[in-house]
Structure 1
């Protein structure tokens, strides 16, 4: 059995003959389950997705469609034998097929592998060839299908460009001119596509046509969008004008560094500021560049490459801990090699890099003093050198090391204020955005909602000029957090309004390229909203609590009236990570300890939270709130000190 949705929805038997799936509704049910990628879809969700205005007997009709699909997909299944392909699971249905038997899943997996390994580009080409038209082409009117179609089309375009880039990097690609010309004509707003076409023309020996292509891109961007071409197009034009050989792995070895390690890391830095899939790519390119520089044996070059990636970092959990660990190790080896008499600016950048990349719990948790010491040393060197760009980078490292214990919002605000002042005076717009966001978080932690909103608006104004697409994603969460807090006030917005704002913010964050921030955040926000209104924790089994499960689970179990299991879960919960949400995790433990009468755990929470009495739990993230820490602290203190 094979199911295809990259085009009209169809199912094919092993011999290639088509399966009669029935009418449009039958095919849409199957397509919707394909889109869920093996996850269960509830009956209610399927009904809402199939009908704008569901009829009275919609559930019965859905069951009829499912029954017919089961007969079509498993015609030889004996009576009363459970289905193996379209299965009932909990309150809904799920499709159980190996990923290689569904064309869209093969495509997604091939793209993911090619992102990691350029050697997988052949597999990606085969997956691209399987597209027969727009995804879910015959489910045109459904909102869910429109969303999926848009998402998959963006990935298809990325795959086309990734395949071309890998071929060009490897020294091939002269025969891509016609394909890329058609791609640019159809998608003229995709700036990377213009660069790829110019590279293909240059590879084919058509330098004049390559330059004309870049100038058309420049004119289109300026005339229609009022934008200048990005750094990659400018660099490519300069290389062609200078008569350089076509870029393509002629100097540096290793995947992802065909332009040389320093140029590659500069490009990675630019990509990181763009967010989304570009952010994911930037991490891969950066590490490849660092490793290429190390292979040269040139310590100073390696130090410059490592330190050049001075991308503002706001969140205290790394999205890719393994990469962060590799970068920290490379920075420490290079720092040791340079020695204490090495160039002060290079040492400062290496130390700042160690402080920034050690922000995730699994890196700094074992030796927090090492990262904090690196941050302080970087700051001292940067102040002596009087280099504003270096100083704001060092301050970024200091900021990410101000989570040693709860209650440090005021200290972080001071760091944010200095970053903002320096960045404003010395025209460092990306760090001005960082300063605003740090101050937004601090104001949120201290309950100053008006100040937090002002910083959000200022950050958005800066983002509009610096092309920082992640900013409105974060400020959207801040506004949902404000609505949640004000939903407890007389005449304030309803809790349902706050929940809807959180859902909207979650949709924006899902594609922002920040998995270290995204996972588990939405359930935690809903839990905080319920606690604000003295309601039990959400118990929906579909919620992915991510890294926050150990601290949320006791309250979820209590909401399910399972106190014994809640007590076990509470006892097993570790101490929270030293990050933006540590106050929130301690408050969850405090609340569960009070409900279960666990005096020792309540006392530990009191000791951890005492310095944060004037702050709001979870609000230091700028993304959500559980309410004032004092609310949890008072009841935990009462239990901890009870006779």
Structure 2
């Protein structure tokens, strides 16, 4: 590796012999650091000037060019004169630094943390220790007050703290709890607001046969959080304290490689005894059984693919049974308790979604005026979550070639989301707000290009969940952020979310989350333009679809994966290569391109004129790009104009990447093609 760079501490560089490169003065290092923050993207000279000086001097632009020239000489001393630099290049209006993969310590650290998420505890602990050892001080330590470094420094710091906690967890799980205690003690002293750190320290002490010290730590945590920081401790601390006092079995040591279940099969015995007691104590026709069943279905839905399918199968029956009792508030509770996080925007079972929404609307109309606001808000949130994609469309969908239409059913769903969120905020109910935010996310697809807004929802969900111990909602928030950041091109941010999701899924037994992170990593491989890695990653991702329990997610994706590289290359699909492909729900929007590939342009134009508008969901930008390409190639000006109009707000995104699954390439490519065809049609 010719040149390496370090930002995990003071900014530094080393040549191929390991000798430190003399970078020059503070301004030289700041220019280098600013280019490293950009992660291989061009930084305009004007941006560099604004970032380096609060009040730029008259010769600021010339000074920046001088700094860059000196850096080039320092980083590439053997480069022949007048030969363009490939490492620190001039491009367009500015400069871009292009280190080799793995040449920046921060990038290597991120990759190491991500890899460790897939390892067993015995392997993860040393891997994370090695990664953490690369830190030489605070990230970008030379520039602690620089605004341009603030977000990146905060992101890397958070990732480091996450790695410290995951290493400690791995040590505890692998039977080395005593080894984890010193670092965790220092960790919570330096970062007292991190409840995960306190809980890990108490668990490590307990597992090291120091029950009294574990209780002292938990009480100290409550004091520090409440009295010193003014933060209400989450429920996890209280539950752990009770477990320590009772010497709960779940706190006992686990062998290396286990997933965190209760030792010696105790869970099965407890379950059997409790179920038997419930069966004998609660009458068969008791209404309490319906509420218990609804809560059980909620828990079942997040445990496995089979659990999700079973929960979906029985949920509508539970709602119908509750309605038959004539008890409006009971029915409301049965509907509202099912706050299962929903990250995919196409309904798995349209009929079930429609039945639940209609039941919720009937109950809302019949709720007494003095019904608790929380009950009403949960019903509204259920309406918002289940009214995803086009599940509740009334009649035929508008045509893509026609102007945008605000459909009444969609307006009702958007209003339900807003009302539920507003009520949850007024009630200051964290779990209810998480459910309502899930509904708000589902309704944030009224147009293309709203990834930034969805990222804001995901960010709030993560913060809310971490403050209140809402694990499922945190997984949801991080998956929302993963999707949004992918669309916005912030792959480093998306990588961090994927690593966090995998860690949460392993610790809290949320196996379905791995389906989404596997697909994201396949997308990541596609964006790296490594054909072999892309092929292998998608093969693994597609394999996870079989039996994943999410038919609305799985249908048609394998065929789209095969189509993506064809479109990125600017080609048309070969009819023979795609003969028999199962396009699932995406068939209507792929068909015009297939017809063009079969040299049937008139039929393609007719298909464009009659195809419905793409659904308002995670795939809408991708499907509009398919229509834009087909309209441009067939000369269908009206369809091209509509596609250009819809895609304009997403011009800076990667087509399809906002779903966290695949990409057809930059949206701007398709937007430009469609706009040119539309303009030609106007003349």
Structure 2: distance between partners of 1:333 and 1:277: 30
Post-superposition offset of 1:222: 7.2
**Stretch of structure 1 that moved more, 393-402 or 470-479:** 470-479
Which position in structure 2 is the counterpart of 1:117? none
Which position in structure 1 is the counterpart of 2:599? 561
Residues 1:260 and 2:268 are matched in the alignment: no
Superposition map of 1:120-135 within 5 A: none
Quickly say closer, same or farther: Cα 1:464–1:350, change in 2 above 3 A.
Answer: same
Structure 2: distance between partners of 1:499 and 1:565: 33
Structure 1: distance between partners of 2:250 and 2:413: 44
Residues 1:499 and 2:528 are matched in the alignment: no
Quickly say closer, same or farther: Cα 1:231–1:335, change in 2 above 3 A.
Answer: farther
Quickly say closer, same or farther: Cα 1:619–1:339, change in 2 above 3 A.
Answer: farther
SS of the residue corresponding to residue 273 of structure 2 reads: helix
Post-superposition offset of 1:282: 0.4
SS of the residue corresponding to residue 362 of structure 1 reads: coil
Aligned residue pairs total 414
SS of the residue corresponding to residue 577 of structure 1 reads: coil
Post-superposition offset of 1:284: 1.8
2:304·2:511 contact (CA, 8 Å) conserved in 1?
A: yes
Structure 2: distance between partners of 1:474 and 1:542: 26
Quickly say closer, same or farther: Cα 1:342–1:233, change in 2 above 3 A.
Answer: farther
Residues 1:529 and 2:558 are matched in the alignment: no
Which position in structure 2 is the counterpart of 1:15? none
1:460·1:471 contact (CA, 8 Å) conserved in 2?
A: yes
Structure 1: distance between partners of 2:344 and 2:544: 17
Quickly say closer, same or farther: Cα 1:323–1:234, change in 2 above 3 A.
Answer: farther
SS of the residue corresponding to residue 612 of structure 2 reads: coil
SS of the residue corresponding to residue 668 of structure 2 reads: helix
Superposition map of 1:314-353 within 5 A: 314-353=343-382
Superposition map of 1:170-185 within 5 A: none
Residues 1:379 and 2:417 are matched in the alignment: no
Structure 1: distance between partners of 2:660 and 2:611: 25
SS of the residue corresponding to residue 510 of structure 1 reads: coil
Which position in structure 1 is the counterpart of 2:442? 400
Residues 1:436 and 2:487 are matched in the alignment: no
2:640·2:677 contact (CA, 8 Å) conserved in 1?
A: yes
Which position in structure 1 is the counterpart of 2:310? 281
Structure 1, unmatched stretches of 5+, are 1-216, 254-258, 488-492
Which position in structure 2 is the counterpart of 1:452? 494
TM-score when normalising by structure 2? 0.58
Which position in structure 1 is the counterpart of 2:320? 291
Structure 2, unmatched stretches of 5+, are 1-248, 394-406
1:513 to 543, 549, 552: 549
Which position in structure 2 is the counterpart of 1:245? 280
1:584·1:618 contact (CA, 8 Å) conserved in 2?
A: yes
Summarize deviations over 1:460-515 as a string: whole Å, max 9, x none. 1111112111111111111111111221xxxxx12x54233223211101211000
Structure 1: distance between partners of 2:568 and 2:427: 48
Post-superposition offset of 1:232: 8.7
Structure 2: distance between partners of 1:334 and 1:345: 14
Post-superposition offset of 1:562: 2.4
SS of the residue corresponding to residue 411 of structure 1 reads: helix
Superposition map of 1:542-581 within 5 A: 542-581=580-619
Structure 1: distance between partners of 2:303 and 2:433: 23
Summarize deviations over 1:14-40 as a string: whole Å, max 9, x none. xxxxxxxxxxxxxxxxxxxxxxxxxxx
Q: CA RMSD in A?
A: 2.5
**Stretch of structure 1 that moved more, 445-454 or 535-544:** 535-544
Post-superposition offset of 1:566: 2.1
**Stretch of structure 1 that moved more, 606-615 or 290-299:** 290-299
2:627 to 586, 589, 597: 589
Which position in structure 1 is the counterpart of 2:526? 484
Residues 1:301 and 2:362 are matched in the alignment: no
Residues 1:632 and 2:655 are matched in the alignment: no
Structure 1: distance between partners of 2:311 and 2:528: 39
Structure 1: distance between partners of 2:471 and 2:424: 19
Post-superposition offset of 1:441: 0.4
1:602·1:639 contact (CA, 8 Å) conserved in 2?
A: yes
Structure 2: distance between partners of 1:390 and 1:366: 26
1:526·1:538 contact (CA, 8 Å) conserved in 2?
A: no
Summarize deviations over 1:223-276 as a string: whole Å, max 9, x none. 87641379997454235457x5288x82259xxxxx811111111111110231
Which position in structure 2 is the counterpart of 1:358? 387
SS of the residue corresponding to residue 361 of structure 1 reads: coil
1:319·1:515 contact (CA, 8 Å) conserved in 2?
A: yes
Structure 2: distance between partners of 1:597 and 1:226: 59
Summarize deviations over 1:569-606 as a string: whole Å, max 9, x none. 22221111111111111111110111011111100111
1:315·1:580 contact (CA, 8 Å) conserved in 2?
A: yes
Quickly say closer, same or farther: Cα 1:354–1:225, change in 2 above 3 A.
Answer: closer
Residues 1:599 and 2:628 are matched in the alignment: no
Residues 1:417 and 2:463 are matched in the alignment: no
Summarize deviations over 1:171-203 as a string: whole Å, max 9, x none. xxxxxxxxxxxxxxxxxxxxxxxxxxxxxxxxx
Post-superposition offset of 1:568: 2.5
Structure 1: distance between partners of 2:543 and 2:362: 41
Post-superposition offset of 1:351: 0.5
**Stretch of structure 1 that moved more, 542-551 or 221-230:** 221-230
1:576·1:582 contact (CA, 8 Å) conserved in 2?
A: yes
Quickly say closer, same or farther: Cα 1:563–1:290, change in 2 above 3 A.
Answer: same
SS of the residue corresponding to residue 545 of structure 2 reads: helix
Post-superposition offset of 1:641: 1.3
